[in-house]
Amino acid sequence: MKRAINFGAGPSAIPLEVLEEAQKQLLDFGGSGLSIMEASHRSKLYEAVHDEAISLMRELYEIPADYEVMFLQGGASLQFAMIPMNLNKGGKLQYVDTGTWSSKAIKEAKIQNLNVEVIASSKENTYNQIPTEIKFDDDADYAYITSNNTIYGTQYKEFPSTKAPLVVDASSDIFSYPVDWSKIDMMFAGAQKNAGPSGVTIVIMKKELIENGPTNIPTMLQYRTHAENNSLYNTPPTFGIYLIQLIMKWLKARGGIKEIQKYNEAKAKLLYDAIDNSNGFYVGHALKDSRSLMNVSFNIKDKDSELEAKLIKETENARMIGLKGHRSIGGLRASIYNAMTLEGVQELVDLMNKFAKENA
């Protein structure tokens, strides 16, 4: 079997070694005679997997002891509503708008008739950069950013400093580089890009924020509920958490977060160099100082939709999938998350170079 090279934005590639290990254990996990999918979430068999996944996340990401690590459901999209429910104190909620996902988060907070302020945005420039002037008010209930923007291919190079609690949607770049926890009060992510399969949402949150949260909202929508029950208040997505555990083991075997960052930088450089050295045939969407290491969005010169469709067809014929750009900006998009190999990016670059010569 020859596997596809998956450049999809999410759900995205999972390391081959992880898939092979899950396949090997699928019918009989650890000699138990059960698949881990069949094991009770109250059983010692599953709880060992659950606890090791959290322990590995803490170790690899150097998460401080005063932060809780939780597995939730509902995707990052449910967090857009849960965050204002749990963190608003009747003051202002401040957001930076860098694209579709932050815009959706803003919309969910406004639905709750809260005092929402957008303090910076790159919308006027088709979200082609991270705003340069970001200043949150010290007395805001929280400050909210989206660290990486899958559609537009932009990424924060440094998180803004603020006295207000900083909330980071890291759905598309979690575990891809080390973070400074002294700046972050809450980080969350849908797992389906870098950490695992779809169906699991990771929340890393200061315990103080959880303890001070409200009790007059539905039980399942309180972070307290999940923190107090080790994310086992109800049945969690057990198989997805098992795959997260395997991916954390894979990351550790590769040398950890710092080493995967170097690998990601090498992949991104290879692809951006191909764009920059194409004599204008390829044009990147994001400004250079805002370029993402995870999602590379680009067009063919003059946004030639016929040539773009032709290139996408050629990539598909070469077993590369997921390269069609988001409908909002068109073009092409290569998502090169942790599991994407340098060899896979090289195959794409070789094809792009050949295509440019033939169609310039």
Closest-CA residue to 248 (of 12, 49, 24): 49
Catalytic residue among 97, 141, 169, 173: 169
Q: Is 204 helix (H, G, I), strand (E, B) or coil?
A: strand
Q: Which two tokens stand for residue 217?
A: 């909202």
193 is catalytic: yes
Pairing state of beta strands 5-6 and 186-190?
unpaired
Catalytic residue among 92, 101, 173, 324: 101
Cα 235 from Cα 256, distance rounded (Å): 30
Q: Which helix (H) or strand (E) holds 297?
A: strand 295-300
Residues in the chain: 360
Tell whether the torsion through CA atoms of 262, 267, 273 and 275 is positive or negative. negative
Q: How many CB atoms lie within 10 A of CB 47?
A: 15
101 is catalytic: yes
Catalytic residue among 193, 250, 267, 324: 193
Residue 357, φ and ψ in degrees, nearest 5: -65, -40
- 195 close to 54: Cβ distance less than 8 angstroms: no
Is 304 buried (19+), middle (13-18) or exposed (0-12) by CB count in 10 A?
middle
Share of the chain residues as helix, strand and coil, in percent rounded to the nearest 5: 40, 15, 40
Would you name the residues annotated as active-site residues? 101, 169, 193
